[in-house]
């Protein structure tokens, strides 16, 4: 195996591991073999049945038989869910407007902000249609830190209540970063139970990827607004798939429970009552399909001035980092990689040699890594006058 092949394999493994981590630390550990069977063998197989059996191998034979049965029930249930999710994805307009909740005004605002002729006046009628965005803008300028900034520049620290006035305080240059951030946060699932940390991790990942893309863009003569915006939008496919899976699981599961009860099928009814949304299924779904869904959603947004479609076409091949990549594509590949690296590093789930191989595969320069190491990925770096 060549060195580039080894690097590519490492990149795929770490990408998969990062998706597992979204669903929980213990789950991600189990998937790389940190949980052992009684015989001391690592659980490495990514199959629901194997995980179910090993997790319950201390039980009596009769109980183990039930868990085998429950695993088969779970696989049949998720086969139905898989078909239902794919069917819903065929109606992408419904996914965009109802599942994610993207209003047409949002891509229109992002498009306006991308051009030199942008003005607050052009944005006002669009923002008026988005009450949630108005509230977010008002809340931002009224944060103590930004109220203090306004007090210094205008001798006025009175609380702002009008979204249009808030926009003027924030300014066009800042709105280019603020609006995509608030939009993606607004589209996040209201709840991701039983994966309690998933919503927060999706939100944090979006911010980290956007800021990393912005920092890398500065070093590579790439439009930093384009980089930040696409970095923020890159996980919109994950948002859609998480919402679809959790809603579809609940609907299909309830229907099957009712049917089992009506048919007085006690074993099936008992098995179904023990089932919950499966992290393995969801992790695989996100890993396999999220970038494709993001590409379709962005295409449907029909941006006129944001050059995202050709970039997304390249990004849907996540492990093809070649010389034909557009500059913005290269920036996004690296930003996404670094976002996953930070998550894995925080949970001590990536080794130094793995990280080195990963970074070499995506051709990070030392200047890029140094800039990212000193970047703040938690807060806006903006000044409000």
- DSSP SS3 for 42: strand
With 80 as the cut, is the pLDDT of residue 157 above it? no
The pLDDT, as a whole number, for residue 385 is 60
Write out the H or E segment, with its range, that includes residue 171. Answer: none
The pLDDT, as a whole number, for residue 35 is 42
Average pLDDT for residues 43-67, to the nearest whole number?
55
How many alpha carbons lie under 13 Å from residue 275 in its C-beta half-sphere?
Answer: 31
Computed over its alpha carbons, how large is the radius of gyration of the chain?
Answer: 23
Lowest mean pLDDT among 134-148, 154-168, 213-227, 355-369: 154-168
The pLDDT, as a whole number, for residue 144 is 81
CA–CA dist 325, 314 (Å, integer): 7
CA–CA dist 335, 318 (Å, integer): 12
pLDDT level of residue 303 (50, 70, 90 thresholds): very high
| Residue 223 tokens, joined | 């439009």
The pLDDT, as a whole number, for residue 345 is 96
The pLDDT, as a whole number, for residue 132 is 97
The pLDDT, as a whole number, for residue 40 is 39
Question: pLDDT digits over 214-267, tens only?
Answer: 999 999 999 999 999 999 999 999 999 999 999 999 999 999 999 999 999 999
Mean pLDDT, all residues of the chain: 89
- In contact, 10 and 357? CB cutoff 8 Å: yes
Average pLDDT for residues 19-43, to the nearest whole number?
70
CA–CA dist 210, 196 (Å, integer): 23
- If one compares 93 and 60, the residue with the highest pLDDT of the two is 93
| Segments in 119-235 forming alpha helices (H) | 120-128, 131-141, 144-154, 163-170, 172-187, 198-219, 224-233
- In contact, 385 and 153? CB cutoff 8 Å: yes
84-104 CB burial, b ≥16 within 10 A, e <16: bbeebbeebeebbeebbebbe
Ramachandran bin of 363, using left for φ above 0, alpha for ψ from -120 to 50, beta for the remaining angles: left
The pLDDT, as a whole number, for residue 2 is 86
**Percent of the chain predicted with pLDDT > 90:** 77
pLDDT level of residue 335 (50, 70, 90 thresholds): very high
Residue 270: Cβ within 10 Å count? 14
With 90 as the cut, is the pLDDT of residue 47 above it? no
- What's the whole-model pTM score? 0.89
pLDDT level of residue 89 (50, 70, 90 thresholds): very high
Query: 240 φ, ψ to 5°?
Result: -60, -45
Residue 308: which of 93, 111, 127, 119 has the closest Cα? Answer: 111
CA–CA dist 175, 140 (Å, integer): 11
128-146 CB burial, b ≥16 within 10 A, e <16: eebeebbebbbebbbeeeb
With 90 as the cut, is the pLDDT of residue 347 above it? yes
The pLDDT, as a whole number, for residue 155 is 56
- DSSP SS3 for 296: helix
300: Cβ contacts below 8 Å, ≥ 6 apart? 92, 93, 96
Question: pLDDT digits over 123-144, tens only?
Answer: 999 999 999 999 999 999 888 8
DSSP-derived letter for residue 36 is: B
Average pLDDT for residues 295-315, to the nearest whole number?
96
| Residue 75 tokens, joined | 């696989």
Query: 233 φ, ψ to 5°?
Result: -85, -10
- If one compares 153 and 380, the residue with the highest pLDDT of the two is 380
Average pLDDT for residues 93-116, to the nearest whole number?
96
DSSP-derived letter for residue 158 is: P
With 70 as the cut, is the pLDDT of residue 205 above it? yes
With 70 as the cut, is the pLDDT of residue 319 above it? yes
């Amino acid at each position: 195996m060549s060195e580039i092949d080894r690097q590519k394999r490492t990149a795929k493994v770490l990408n998969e591991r990062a998706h597992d981590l979204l669903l929980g630390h213990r789950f991600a550990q189990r998937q790389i073999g940190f949980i052992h069977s009684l015989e001391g063998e690592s659980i490495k197989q990514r199959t629901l049945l194997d995980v179910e059996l090993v997790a319950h191998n201390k039980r009596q034979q009769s109980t183990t038989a039930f868990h085998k049965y429950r695993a088969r029930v779970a696989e049949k249930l998720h086969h139905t869910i898989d078909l239902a999710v794919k069917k819903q994805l065929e109606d992408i307009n419904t996914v965009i407007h109802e599942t994610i909740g993207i209003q047409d005004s949002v891509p229109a605002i992002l498009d306006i902000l991308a051009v030199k002729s942008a003005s607050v006046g052009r944005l006002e009628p669009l923002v008026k249609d988005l009450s949630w965005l108005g509230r977010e803008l008002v809340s931002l300028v009224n944060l103590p830190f930004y109220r203090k900034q306004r007090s210094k520049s205008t001798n006025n620290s009175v609380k702002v209540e009008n979204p249009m006035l808030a926009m003027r305080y924030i300014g066009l240059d800042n709105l280019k970063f603020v609006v995509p951030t608030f939009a993606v946060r607004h589209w996040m699932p209201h709840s991701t139970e039983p994966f309690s940390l998933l919503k927060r991790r999706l939100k944090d990942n979006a911010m980290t990827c956007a800021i990393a893309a912005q920092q890398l863009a500065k070093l590579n003569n790439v439009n930093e607004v384009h980089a930040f915006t696409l970095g923020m939008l890159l996980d919109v496919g994950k948002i859609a798939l998480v919402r679809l899976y959790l809603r579809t699981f609940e609907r299909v599961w309830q229907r099957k429970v009712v049917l089992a009860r009506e048919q007085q099928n006690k074993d099936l009814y008992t098995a179904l009552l023990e089932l919950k949304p499966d992290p393995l299924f969801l992790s695989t779904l996100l890993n396999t399909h999220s970038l494709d869904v993001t590409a379709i959603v962005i295409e449907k947004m029909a941006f006129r001035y944001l050059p995202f479609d050709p970039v997304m076409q390249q990004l849907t091949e996540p492990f093809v980092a070649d010389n034909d990549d557009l500059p913005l594509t290269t920036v996004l590949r690296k930003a996404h990689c670094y976002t996953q690296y930070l998550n894995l590093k925080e949970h001590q789930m990536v080794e130094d040699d793995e990280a080195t191989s990963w970074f070499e595969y995506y051709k990070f320069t030392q200047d890029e890594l140094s800039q990212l190491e000193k970047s703040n990925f938690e807060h806006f770096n903006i000044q409000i006058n």
